[in-house]
Chain A
Amino acid sequence: MSVTGLCTFRLGGILLGLPVSEVQEIVRSSHITPVPLAPPLVKGLVNLRGQVMPAIDLRWRLGIERGNREPGIHVILSHGNELISLPVDSIDDVMNLSHDRRLPPPETLNRPLRESCGAAWDLSDELLLELDPAKLLRGRDSESAE
């Protein structure tokens, strides 16, 4: 049975995951410099050891309610030739999941969330939503169609 490694984290109480191969590292607290005129997807810029990368407003992207505090842990995603920071609330674990637990994203998810998911994983007590980086970074362009 083939196994997929996912780096999992939480945002607004939802358990999310990204393929381990696409995650470069986890950084605790990093200052986000806002960028005037930036699209809503981009929260600002982050400096990671001399490299400047955009930080994604994941809550906006996934249609998750704003919480009391700003997510302060950055998952550094390596996508294409670029690094992108995803600020989240907390880091969970790296899980190796066998493919018989893999499900299509549930229809009941809100639209922005469902559109950024590649798959859902049944963890018996909870559902893990696997994000698809390419879909995630495309932004919420389907919004206008709704």
Chain B
Amino acid sequence: MPPIDENLREFLIEGHENLGQVEQLMLAMESGPTPAARAEAVQSCFRLLHSIKGGAGFLGLKHLESLGHGAENLLAKIRSGEIVPEPGHFGWLLACVDGLKKLLATIESTGTDESAAGDVSAILASFGKKPPPAAPQAAPAKPVETKPATPGLPAQPGSGLAMLHPSVVPPSVADAPSEPEGAAAGASMLAEATVRIGVETIDRLMALASELVLARNRIVQASESIEDAGYQAATRQLNLVTSELQEVVMRTRMQPISGVWSKLPRMVRDLARHLGKHCRIDLEGGDTELDKTLLEAVKAPLTHLARNAVDHGIEPPANRLAMGKPAEGRILLRASHEAGQVTVEMSDDGRGIDASKVRSKVASQRLASADDLARMSDSQVMQFVFMPGFSTADRVTEVSGRGVGMDVVKTSIESMGGSIDLSSVMGKGTTVRLRLPLTLAIIKAVIVRVGTAHVAIPQAGIIELMRLDTEKNIRAVTRVGGGIYLRFRSELMPLIETAEVLGCSPEESFEEAFSVVVVHAEKRQFALKVDRILDSQEIVVKPLPSLLKGIPSYSGTTLLGDGSIALIVDPVGVARLAGLHGRRGESLDVAEASKPVESRSLLLVESTDGRLQAIPLDAVDRLEEIPREKIEKAGDSTVVQYRGGILPLFDASSAPTRPLDISAGGPDRIAVVVHRAPSGLVGMVVGRIIDTVSETGPEEGGMAIVRGSVAQVVDPQRWLAGVA
């Protein structure tokens, strides 16, 4: 047996597994209990065959690829409803599966599939040779055969089919089922070289190891009172072995992501060359550690995405040069830990996805009503790319196409509890962002007390832990309308009373000393008020029981050193709950807010001339009230001495912007929104600060619907352009 390279070896192992599943699914396809179950089986079959075909294409196994392609073609037609499957079709598909199995065995023993050319073309040619009605041995055309499934079908559809349609499958192919026996035995030798362990087994091992640690702790404690040298030595031994065992079990799970993507550069290069393109892939954050099971699961989606990027994203060199881009395309793959999640981002600088093409495709496939479609933003429309059977590629290529890619990726990412989103700029490129959960992983977390509960906050998103105890510190807490904000390092961020969000009573109020955890997540910062910061430790993440899955504030559970249970808090979920909390009486917005629609926080103000204005909160540095007598005139400008410098004041209501007119009279104290511009601080004078809100309505022409009224959205950058 020639030495097999690692790629091929993995492909063969996976191929055997996939084909086994395909066989099961074929049977479900034929006689599934409901049309939905049958459609599901067709879809899964299609995916499995697609992945075999894709791998074969990549490894240059032409015959395997063409046989896979043939079977996939038929399935695509069944899926789209173009063909109503008849028993004969299933017979042929099963013959394809047998043919594929045989090919895998051939490849394993010879390293290529060259010798199988004849078999493949025999199987492919046998399709379409439907039983001619005139043929003597053909079954009479019963109406039953045109139905997708026949309730009274024999228990062994395979053999039953062969009897019904002896001419569908040529004898050489029909005999195939007996042949792969030997071949399968050969294949299993390879499969036995690796042991695949179920996730549950590893989970149990992990749970038992942590339980052992707890038992060890009790024994070590108890042994202090026993003065027996032998017993002491045994305890020490137990101590060491247990620690090591736990470490080893933990280590088996965590591996750097580079192990998965190290094969991508070669694949991208070969594929680009095959397509006559130039492309390189840059990898960042390869040392990001991922749970082994996640790593395995993320491999196929990543390969798919890379293949898509090269095939559909990157343009041929001539087109790129014409567009003023370098001839060589670039794909950037970046992994990082963010807020206790692993983010993997793949971006290319290719042609991007044409939103108008997606729109017309959505319309033509009736995936959304014309009204809905017209109302959707481009980024919302892009999400249709993840629908099964959706593709904007005009032609079907052997490499990728048909749109099977994205829905496979989405399904597999979601099946591991992750999420995926896609953004694309026409002509600039496409970015796909995968967020993977930390389920099963070991993470660093800060254990805090909230009310009476001990909870763990993943350290990944934490910027700082603070105790606010002096008066100066506590003055950093500002109340604006219904919201509470914390000034921290000249930034203003929402301060969330975690205990209140979780429905328990806090121990410490905002007026006295308290602790905060400053978190950065989803591109914004916020502070969680907690009652006590206890400890920082590595915790084993256990999945949340499904009865608790609907609660956004938790991402998992863990066991603490004393065996007690702590919930792992998802800071983003808590923030979301707090945001809804602040808008009581707007229950209709709950569903809206839980959608992944981009919403931003706005500072709602009343302008000096009484109009409703909204300023994006991330543009707000501080909120101040300045006594009128402190305001000075300097030439044409109105200024105030502020924090050791000069703060120019402008009236936020006027456009074009003009300096504040202080002669006009008014209240004794002037409300100022301090904005940090590149040139320095600028004060925007408003009539009254009302509240902060999450933007609810759509924003159009600088206007947004906030709480049922129309507010003018002040874009500080554009506003400042007026100032200059």
Residues on A lying within 8 angstroms of B by beta carbon are: 31, 33-39, 41-42, 45-47, 49-54, 80-82, 84, 137
Query: Counting CB contacts under 8 A, is B59 at the interface?
Result: no
Q: What are 5 of the A-B contact pairs (CB < 8 Å)?
A: A37-B502, A42-B547, A50-B208, A51-B207, A54-B547
Q: B557 — which chain A residues lie within 8 A by C-beta?
A: 45, 52
CA gap between A36 and B545 in the complex, in Å: 14
Query: Which residues of A are found within 8 Å of B559, using beta-carbon distances?
Result: 47, 50, 52
Report the interface size class on chain B.
20 to 34
Minimum CB–CB distance for A97 against chain B, Å: 30
The reply to whether A33 and B547 form a contact with Cβ atoms under 8 Å apart is: no
For residue B722, CB closer than 8 A to chain A, the reply is no
- List of B residues within 8 angstroms of A81 by Cβ: 200
- Find out whether the CB atom of B547 lies under 8 angstroms from the CB atom of A39: yes
In whole Å, how far is A56's beta carbon from the nearest beta carbon of chain B?
A: 8
In the bound complex, how far is the Cα of B547 from the Cα of A45, in angstroms?
A: 11
Q: A37-B502, A50-B208 are in contact. List 14 more A-B contacts (CB 8 A).
A: A33-B565, A35-B548, A36-B453, A39-B550, A42-B545, A45-B567, A47-B559, A49-B208, A52-B545, A52-B557, A52-B558, A53-B545, A80-B546, A82-B545
Shortest Cβ distance from B504 into A: residue: A36
| Residue B503 interfacial (CB < 8 Å) | yes
Give me the 10 closest cross-chain CB pairs, A-B, nearest first: A50-B207, A36-B502, A50-B211, A33-B565, A54-B545, A52-B557, A45-B565, A54-B547, A52-B542, A36-B503
A33, B564: Cα distance in complex, Å:
8
B551 touches A (CB below 8 Å): yes
Question: Is B132's beta carbon under 8 Å from chain A?
Answer: no
User: Taking A37-B502, A37-B551 as contacts, is the C-beta distance between A49 and B207 under 8 angstroms?
Assistant: yes
* Chain B residue contacts of A34, Cβ below 8 A: 453
With a CB–CB cut-off of 8 A, which chain B residues contact A53?
545
Closest to B503 in A: A36
Q: What does the 1/0 interface line of B549-570 toward A look like (CB < 8 Å)?
A: 0110110011100011101000
Check if B286 is an interface residue, CB within 8 A of chain A. no
Return A92 CB to nearest CB of chain B, in Å: 26
Residues in A whose Cβ lies below 8 Å from that of B211: 49-50
Residue of A nearest to B203 (CB): A51
Report the minimum CB–CB distance from B539 to chain A (whole Å).
Answer: 12
A133 to B502, CA, bound (A): 29
Q: Is A47 within 8 A of B563, CB to CB?
A: yes
Smallest CB separation, A90 vs chain B (Å) = 25
B421 to chain A, nearest CB (A): 27
Contacts of B166 in A (CB 8 A): none
Residues of B within 8 A of A137 (CB): 547
Give complex CA distance A137, B549 in Å: 14
How many angstroms between the C-alpha atoms of A137 and B200 in the bound complex?
Answer: 23
**CB neighbors of A among B424-451 (8 A):** 450-451
How far is B206's CA from A84's CA once the two chains are assembled, in angstroms? 19
Q: Report B-chain residues with C-beta under 8 Å of the C-beta of A52.
A: 542, 545, 557-559, 565
Q: Does B210 contact A (CB under 8 A)?
A: yes
B563: A residues at CB distance < 8 A: 47
B454 (CB) vs chain A CBs: closest residue: A33
Interface residues in B613-656 (C-beta closer than 8 Å to A): none
Q: Which of B553, B554, B558, B565 has the most chain A CB within a 10 Å cutoff?
A: B565
Residues of B353-407 contacting chain A, CB below 8 A = none
Closest CB-CB distance, A85 to chain B, in whole Å?
10
B576 to chain A, nearest CB (A): 12
In the docked arrangement, what's the CA distance between A51 and B557, Å? Answer: 10
The answer for the CA separation of A101 and B545 in the assembled complex, in Å, is 36
Residue of B nearest to A41 (CB): B547
Within 8 A of A (CB), among B527-549: 542, 545-548
CB distance from B447 to the nearest CB of A (A): 14
Q: Measured between alpha carbons, how far is A54 from B567 in the docked complex, in Å?
A: 12
CB-based nearest A residue for B545: A54
Check if A42 sits within 8 Å of B210, measured CB to CB: no
Q: How far is the CB of A62 from chain B (nearest CB, A)?
A: 16
Q: How far is the CB of B161 from chain A (nearest CB, A)?
A: 35
